[in-house]
Structure 1
Amino acid sequence: MTEDALLRRVHGLWVGLAVVTGAFPAGGDVVIVHSARSRLCPPGWAGIVRLADGALVTGPDEPRTGLLRRALAGMPVDDLVRADAVAARLPVVDVLGPAVLAYLPADRFRPVAAQVTTLPTGHDDIRALMAAAGPDDSAESGLADVDSPVFVLRDGPDVVAAAGYERWPESTAHVCVLTAPDHRGRELARRTASAAVGHALDSGLLPQWRARLVGEASRKVARALGFTELGAQLSVRLDAVDRAASGQR
C-alpha cells in the first residue's frame, strides 16, 4: 500500500469517527466543527486529531466550538496536539493524551515468531494480568475492550503478556497490548502484539496502534513490527464557556 493510499484510508476512519461530512483537512488546514456525537474524544469533550499536515477538531456544543475556533485560529497544526500549547489558549480542566497514531499495511508487517496461545476475552487469567498491571495501565491498554481472541504468553501458570484488538469502523483493528510490570523489557509485548496483528491482517483489517507521545517503549514495539506513525490525538475537557468568557480558569 502506498503512503497516499494508507493516509486516505486513515482519513476516512477519522472523518467517520468525528461524525462529520467532507474530507479530512490537509495542506496545513485545520477544520473545527460542532459534533455532539464525535468519537474523537469522550462525550462532552473536545477532540483533536492531526494526520500528516492537517487537523480535525470537534467541539461538544456550539458555544465551546466557537471558543475552539477563536482560540485555535492560526495555531500551527503540530501544536494542536500539544497539551501545553492548547491549555495556554483554552480553559482546559482535563486532558487525555497526546497519543501517537500508527498504522500497518500488510506489506510492511515484520512478524515475530512466538509460541503464543489464545484465550477468550474476559478469561480469569486475563483479569489476573490486568489486576497485576494496575487500573491505570490496564485502562490505557484497552485490553478489556478487545473483541478478537486474546494472544497470551505465560510464565508457568500465569499470563504475563497479552494482546488482541478491538474492531473499529472502516475495517480497522485497534491493537491492545499489556505486559505484567515485572516482566517488561523482555520483548513479550512485541511477541504477543505480532500474533494479534497477524490475525488482524489475515482478517482483512488495518491494524492501528495508539501510544502515549512520551511512551517510547510502546512506540518502539510498534516500529519494530512495521507500523508507520501518521499523526496524533488529543482530547480536552473545557471549562464552562460563561466562566471562560469571564476569565476564570
Structure 2
Amino acid sequence: MSTDPSLLGARALWEGLARVPVSFPPTGGAEVVVSPESGLCPAGWVGVVSLGGWAIVTAPTEHTAAIVREGLARLPVAAVADPAVVREALPGARTLGPAALAYVSREGFRPVEPGALSTGHVPSGHPELLRLEESAGDEDAGEAALGDITSPAFVVREHGRVVAAAGYETWPGRTAHVCVLTAPAARGRGLARVTGSAAVTHALTTGLLPQWRATRAASRRVASSLGFTELGYQLSVEIE
C-alpha cells in the first residue's frame, strides 16, 4: 500500500466516515459493509469511495449489500465509481456524482498571489456570503457549500461587494474540506484560484489536510492549478 501521506490521510478520513469498521483492501477490490449511518452518501443510499486503486462501499442494509457485492464483484476497482458502469451492473440504480477527490501537501501546494485585487476575510455565515450565494443560484451555492465552512471566508471584493469567496469545513481526521464560490458575472478571471489559495494556505498553516471535492471540470482545473492531485472518486448509488 502506498505510503503517500495525503493518500493515507484521505483513506483514514473516508474509513472513519463509513462509521463502521472497514478498510481499503490492500490486495485490491472493493470492500462492501453495512452501515445505515454512513457518511459516504445520503441516508438510505450506497456510498462508494475509490482512492488510489482501492475502494470501500457502504450499504444501508444487508439485503442491499448482497445486491451490491454480487453486482460489483466482476468489476475492476477502476470502474466502481463510474456511474455508467455501475448502473449497468446494478440495473435500475440511480447515481449522484462522481465527485473527484483531490488533496495537496504543503510541499505540493502552488499558492496564488492576489495582485491588485481587493481581498480580505469575513466570518463564516456573514451576510456578504449569503448575498454571494443568492447571486450564484441554488445549484452553484449548493455545490460550493459555503454555508458549511468553519474557517473564515477569504474574499475578493469589487465595487464594495464580495464577488468570490473560499473557506473550509473542518472534517474528521484533521481534514479541511475546501469550499469555493464565484459570482457568475466574475467567473473566468482566476478569482477562485485567489480565494482558494488563501483558504488552502490557512488550512496548511493549521496542520490540516486540504481536500477538494468537485464534480465540475472548471472546479477541478482550479484545484489542479493549486497543486492538488486527484486520488480518487466518490459516488452515491440509490437502489430501488
TM-score for both structures, normalised by structure 2: 0.94
Figure out how many residues of one structure are paired with residues of the other and give that number: 236
- The letter for the 1-side match of 2:54 is G
Question: 2:194: which partner in 1?
Answer: 191
Q: Report deviation, 1:26.
A: 3.4
**Cα deviation digits, residues 126-165 of structure 1 (max 9, x gap):** 1111011100110011111101100110111211100000
Q: Which residue of 2 aligns with 1:136?
A: 139
Alpha-carbon distance, 1:211 to partner: 0.9
The code of the aligned residue for 1:142 comes to A
C-alpha separation in 1, matches of 2:20 and 2:135: 40
Residue identity opposite 2:233 in structure 1: A
> Aligned pair 1:174/2:189, yes or no?
no
> Residue by residue, what CA displacement relative to the aligned partner does 1:18-56 show, whole Å, maximum 9, x if unpaired?
123243223432111111111000111100000011111
Q: Which whole-Å CA distance do the structure 2 matches of 1:129 and 1:9 have between them?
A: 32
2:101 maps to 101
Query: Once superposed, which parts of structure 1, at least 4 consecutive aligned residues long, lie more than 6 Å away?
Result: none
Give the aligned partner of residue 151 of structure 1: 154
Q: C-alpha deviations, 1:145-192, integer Å up to 9, x for none?
A: 101100110111211100000000000000000001111100000000
1:219 shift after superposition: 1.1
Name the amino acid aligned to 2:143.
E
TM-score under structure 1 normalisation?
0.91
Counterpart for residue 51 of structure 1: 51
Q: Does the 8 A contact of 1:12 with 1:24 survive in 2?
A: no
CA distance, structure 2, for counterparts of residue 26 and residue 99 of structure 1? 23
Partner of 1:116: 119
SS of alignment partner, residue 67 of structure 2: helix
Write out aligned runs for 1:1-249 (5 A).
4-114=4-114, 115-212=118-215, 215-239=216-240
Tell me: CA distance 1:70–1:15, structure 2 relative to 1, closer, same or farther (3 Å).
Answer: same
